[in-house]
Amino acid sequence: MLKIENFTLSFENERFMLIDDILFTGGKRINLFADNSTGKTLLLRSIHGDFTKFEGSILIKEKPPLFYKKRKKTILIENHIHLLMNESVWKNITLPLENMSSRQKQKITDLCSIAELNEKIGTKVNKLPFSSQKFVELIRAVIQLPYLILIDDMDNFFDGKNLLKALEICEYALNSGSSLFATSKNKMEHFDITCRVQDKRVVIL
Amino acid sequence: MKKGIFFQIIILIILLATWNLLHIGYNHQKKVLEANISELPMLIFSTDVILLDSLAKELDDLSYIRNITIEADSIIAEKLISGYGLDNAKDILSSYRLPSLMNISFDGTAFQTPQKEELKKILTSSGYTELTINYDSDLWQLNRDKLKLLTKIFYGGNALILVLFLLISVFLRIHFEIKSNDFWQIFRSSGGNRKVRRKQFLLNSLWLCFVPLLLATGLYFAAMYFKYINIQIDYRLFGVEFAAIIISILMSRIFLGKNI
């Protein structure tokens, strides 16, 4: 699913993140934890295809991220909100879906009930708390069954009970072969693979 | 339909209707001035009615002459007697030799400077030196000058409307597309297909291409049908308007570049 080889991020000739050779198969929950300014966000953006100034190679299903430029197969959930604030929860979740099947509609309802959003489906997202807004983004990502769901600083908005709910929501995509790659400041539980940045190098624990 | 597209359609309808109005106004005013020229007759007097007849035959083929009538001296005398109640002076009038009269009316559209020169040449040629011609050339010149000025204003107005049309339509399109950038950014980051925006741009272009033109044209034909106006405009104008819309769409697309 995701293969990263000889990956290096540098700034003004100083290297700050190195990945020698990592291969993640589909349907896995991967957590990379590290302190601030270690390059976690840039790694996610590189996998997503938004950042290209890195050395080495990233392959998603044996294709570089730029191959998916027109039709993204990865969805990146960043720290800031990417929602239409004056639109309803439903409108935001269904925004990227061109033709929606009744199965998808039912699944959205199910996922919303896990996130306790089923009674707020018609509510404008600007009326929701921050963590609920992130749930909307997560459900929107999960329902599309991308190859990879990338979540930056996941522990910023999902912790404790909310983390369990978020992982339960992700289960739908994971069962279909998608992988979840989440970064955090601290190690998160319930993940299949945990990595950390140690002396600027990503190591699997 | 989004509010932005609806607003653009309204503005385009107003601009196209204004353009149509310019043509209607021009054609109306042109008609009035040409009618003034048509209503201005040329009177030719001669004591020799045969000369007038031969002149009438010569002028008959000219396309800018609408009608020629000749009134013989006896008819003129009768008209004078009945018109002014001169029954007692009938004998006196019959003793005078009155001239015959030729009345020429022109086609105001066709009777322009070269045609007037041609007619002058015929009338001053050697065979017709005895004729007395009465024609208000000053009034004809005044109407022709007005027509020239009207034509200049018309072409200037067309150019101005075309430029305004392109400026306004391109500006509005770019404004609303840039305004929707936030939406499309969120759409893209949510996993939406990049092609959807291009598809939407094309769909909006089709709306902007046909709806304002059909409505503005429909408005004109409805006004004609219900007899609010009775002025035929050159149908090629609708082709020019369509071309202007296409150009504005292409210009917007070029200026928007990678935004789409």
Share of chain A above pLDDT 70, in %: 100
Q: Enter the tokens of residue B68.
A: 């020629």
- Tokens 């020429």: give the residue: B104
Report chain B residues whose CB lies below 8 A from the CB of A70: 193-195
Nearest CA in chain B to A83: B186
Q: What is the pLDDT of residues A86-130, one digit of tens each?
A: 999 999 999 999 888 999 999 999 999 999 998 899 999 999 999
B139 phi, psi to nearest 5 deg: -65, -40
Strands A179-184 and A193-198: unpaired
CB of B2 within 8 Å of any CB in chain A? no
Q: What is the pLDDT of residues A66-84, one digit of tens each?
A: 777 767 789 999 989 999 9
Contact criterion met (CB < 8 Å) for B191 and A70:
no
Average pLDDT over residues A130-150: 94
CB of B210 within 8 Å of any CB in chain A? no
B93: pLDDT strictly greater than 70: no
Name, in order, each residue with C-beta under 8 angstroms of A15's C-beta and a sequence gap of 6 or more. Answer: A8, A9, A200
Contact criterion met (CB < 8 Å) for A98 and B185:
no
pLDDT of B212 reads 96
Contact by Cβ (8 Å): A7, A54: yes
Report chain B residues whose CB lies below 8 A from the CB of A142: none
Average pLDDT over residues A36-53: 89
Q: Enter the tokens of residue B47.
A: 């004591």
Report chain A residues whose CB lies below 8 A from the CB of B186: 82-84, 95
Contact criterion met (CB < 8 Å) for A71 and B192:
no
Name the amino acid, one letter, at A197: V
- Tokens 């950042």: give the residue: A51
B15: pLDDT strictly greater than 80: yes
B35: pLDDT strictly greater than 90: yes
Report chain B residues whose CB lies below 8 A from the CB of A140: 190-191
Contact criterion met (CB < 8 Å) for B186 and A76:
no
CB of B203 within 8 Å of any CB in chain A? no
Residue of B15, B70, B82 whose CA lies nearest to B42: B70
CB of A69 within 8 Å of any CB in chain B? yes
pLDDT of B90 reads 67
CB of A65 within 8 Å of any CB in chain B? no
Contact by Cβ (8 Å): B101, B133: no
Q: What is the pLDDT of residues B210-240, one digit of tens each?
A: 999 999 999 999 999 999 999 999 999 999 9
| A–B CB contacts, 8 A cutoff, strictly below | 39
H-type helices in B97-235, by residue range? 113-123, 137-179, 181-189, 195-225
Q: Where are the domains of chain B?
A: 2-33+145-259, 41-135
B1: pLDDT strictly greater than 60: no
Considering only CB atoms, B186 lies closest to which of A70, A75, A82, namely A82
CATH number for region B41-135: 3.30.70
CB of B3 within 8 Å of any CB in chain A? no
- Tokens 């009038």: give the residue: B93
CB of A95 within 8 Å of any CB in chain B? yes
pLDDT of B94 reads 66
- Distinct helix (H) and strand (E) counts, chain B: 9, 4
Average pLDDT, chain B: 90
Residues in chain A, total? 205
Name the amino acid, one letter, at A18: L
B71: pLDDT strictly greater than 60: yes
Contact criterion met (CB < 8 Å) for B186 and A144:
no
Q: What is the pLDDT of residues A152-195, one digit of tens each?
A: 999 988 888 899 999 999 999 999 999 999 999 999 988 999 99
pLDDT of B204 reads 94
Count of other CB atoms within 10 angstroms of residue B38: 18
Count of other CB atoms within 10 angstroms of residue B175: 13
pLDDT of B19 reads 97
Q: What is the pLDDT of residues B154-202, one digit of tens each?
A: 999 999 999 999 999 999 999 999 999 999 999 988 988 888 999 999 9
pLDDT of B106 reads 92
Name, in order, each residue with C-beta under 8 angstroms of A94's C-beta and a sequence gap of 6 or more. Answer: A100, A108
